[in-house]
Structure 1
Amino acid sequence: MTLSPRESSEHIVKNAKYLTVLPDGIEKLAKEIISSIQTGQLSPNNFSQNDIHPKATDPHAIEWIFVVDTLNFCFWTPTDHTKYKVNGFTGYFALCAAINRAMDEGIDITNATYYSKIDGETLRQVFRPDDGQTSIPLFEQRIACLNEVGTRLLEKWQGKFQNVVRAANNSASRLLELIVSEFPCFRDEAVYEGQRVSLYKRAQILIGDIWSCFGGKGPGAFNDLEKITMFADYRVPQVLIHFGSLEYKPELLNELTSETILENGDAREVEIRGASIYIVEKVKDAILEKLAKKEIELNKEYVNSILIDHFLWDYRRKHAAELEHIPFHKVLSVYY
């Protein structure tokens, strides 16, 4: 049996050897999130207000999100390398910019019939970098992922991811099951301390992006959004350490500082990602408890792991220079 991401995080933190979760930092982070929601800084609208993302009214919105999250992995570069850039954007936003540019150029990149057969030469043109030299990491794996999901959509879902969304019948947990069972490149699992655990970063961010894009309405109306956890990647842990909710033991800190590349499924990697999920779930629980006791006032719909993750990820980008001294774990993986 594979544990859900939340159950997995509890199992991982209970058995962790390389890091410690700190309750005081969880409380500090909860206060920060509450303040951000109350001031309007943190809102589901942040997704649709970003010009690089599609709007709910765009007919291609769901298929765009599916393609982008199929490819939403591994943007880090070693410190002595040039960053991959498209239209001045780096990381995830460079990917979005490349997909948008392809669509502007008339490339049918959100059509499963097209990307199920896309070849290297065509995809290189889609992903061409600003400097003409620095290619997107894991290029071959990106072709394989697009071919895999496109083929499966054509075989079973009439070529449309929106049919998968419909089949979930407004259940986020059912949609998560469908994504990881239908599309193996989303099946982000590991074995940790004798137990199969799940982290499901890209599968859950796919659901979170649909919820955010549609403002929790229409295709984004999920009746069990609380089942979705944060999206365990390599950047958010830097923020968790900064806020004092996560601490690496000296052995792990030395490994990360020396830029060791870990294998996907390595216990150290699984612990970092599992602890990230655990901390965000505890932050969410703490805010909901304050709401229940009427200690605070805010819109309960805004208290979910998706928005907490948005806060953490945005915080890292806004304070990149300040957080640069905190090492992040490096893994060449299609899962995040």
Structure 2
Amino acid sequence: MASSTLSRNITTILNSRNDPLRVLATTADVIKRAQYVSIDLKRVQTVAQVLSLRPVPVPSWNFEHHFFDGTEKTVTYIFLLDALNFSFWGEPKWRVNHIKENVDGYWALSASLKRAAEKDKHFLDADFLATISPEELARVLKGNVEIPLFVERWRNAQELGRVLRDHFGGSAANLVERAGADAPSLARLVAENISSFNDTTLYKNRPVNLFKRAQIIVGDLWGSFGGEKWGEFKNLEDLTAFADYKLPQILRAWGILNYAPALARRVDAKKTLAKDSAEEIEIRASMLWAVELLRHALAQHGRELTSVQMDWFLWSSSQRNVKGMKPYHRVRTIYY
């Protein structure tokens, strides 16, 4: 259960922050009733003080591993990328060769889709995606082993193509434009129209909104287009961080997140947690609120960052060897 001080801090942030997707409100309820995960406010303040004394670099968009031509095709590429952007962990890790180097995880996915888009001008057409065969997608994602949850990724690719073809004139750009350049509206529109992005769950019979991949589409469009054209959004600050499995890992290494002993043993032993279990939901909700609290603490030191920028910084940091880094939690799911 959350301490009274933590509850007050959460209430303060909720009262000062727009939350149109109700991600913060619904996850705050999880924090207040959590049994397996806790947030250390003293560590939040300590880490914020340390970060305030040095640069907090927000990574720029990586054009080497992403497709970009500045047209509507790039918009569809981002949608497809994030439709398939989940659950990369496994032994051995799925890897592909890209420009004479082996890359894994997200970078392997982005590079594989980039290569396909550059090789076949019809690859990003909604009609093609709507009917893409398992064999065609397998060739695109060919690596040292089969990518985890391949069948689910194939279904997501087809669903994306069908939705764009049947409801948005075959164009992801049309979907983006329908949101009126409003960041939360686009995330909501994506989640409402494409079921694989509708990242919600129940915690003790109460609804919880997470919307990891629906929100990350907005962030990726903003990053790839440099805040212009289909990447120009108002209210970007109303998005939250993206609840995945890498950010909890680094926040735990920094002492901000703490797991109950039994959960810590399972995570550290790389045991798979059940999807939609209380443990999984508490980890994701606590990660979101840890980022919010850290962002708020940094602002008190004069360092203003959006949750999206904080997410990018933390995710980039998690890719390096961090002292005290333990395994990330494992859940087989299409949502992250």
Shift in alpha-carbon separation, 1:161–1:58, aligned structure 2, 3 A:
closer
| Secondary structure at 1:20 match in 2 | strand
Residues in 1 aligned to 2:36 and 2:264: alpha-carbon distance in whole angstroms: 9
> Alignment partner for residue 96 of structure 2, among 83, 86, 94?
86
Corresponding residue for 2:48?
30
Question: Is 1:282 equivalent to 2:284 in the alignment?
Answer: no
Residue type of the partner of 2:318?
Answer: R
Equivalent residue runs for 1:198-277 within 5 Å: 198-277=209-288
Contact 1:172–1:207 (CA under 8 A) maintained in structure 2: yes
Residues in 2 aligned to 1:209 and 1:54: alpha-carbon distance in whole angstroms: 12
Deviations 1:123-178 (A, max 9, x none): 1111111x3xx110001001110111110111110111111111111211111110
Corresponding residue for 2:12?
none
| Secondary structure at 2:139 match in 1 | helix
Contact 2:85–2:213 (CA under 8 A) maintained in structure 1: yes
Equivalent residue runs for 1:4-43 within 5 Å: 4-35=22-53, 39=55, 41-42=57-58
Contact 1:6–1:281 (CA under 8 A) maintained in structure 2: no
Question: Is 1:69 equivalent to 2:87 in the alignment?
Answer: no
Shift in alpha-carbon separation, 1:35–1:98, aligned structure 2, 3 A:
farther
Residue type of the partner of 1:211?
Answer: W
TM-score between the two structures when normalised by the length of structure 1: 0.87
Identity fraction in percent: 31
Residues in 2 aligned to 1:32 and 1:221: alpha-carbon distance in whole angstroms: 32
Residues in 1 aligned to 2:212 and 2:31: alpha-carbon distance in whole angstroms: 18
Equivalent residue runs for 1:102-121 within 5 Å: 102-106=116-120, 108-121=122-135
Corresponding residue for 1:159?
170
TM superposition shift of 1:13: 0.8
Shift in alpha-carbon separation, 1:151–1:197, aligned structure 2, 3 A:
same
Aligned residues: 313
Shift in alpha-carbon separation, 1:12–1:68, aligned structure 2, 3 A:
same
TM superposition shift of 1:219: 2.1
Corresponding residue for 1:170?
181
Question: Is 1:333 equivalent to 2:333 in the alignment?
Answer: yes
Residue type of the partner of 1:306?
Answer: V
Deviations 1:263-295 (A, max 9, x none): 22111000000000011111222233x2xxxx5
Deviations 1:30-85 (A, max 9, x none): 3455456xx37325xx11x44112447355221111110000011001xxx21111
| Secondary structure at 1:335 match in 2 | coil
Residues in 1 aligned to 2:147 and 2:43: alpha-carbon distance in whole angstroms: 35
Gaps of 5+ in 2: 1-19
Shift in alpha-carbon separation, 1:315–1:62, aligned structure 2, 3 A:
same
Contact 2:249–2:318 (CA under 8 A) maintained in structure 1: yes
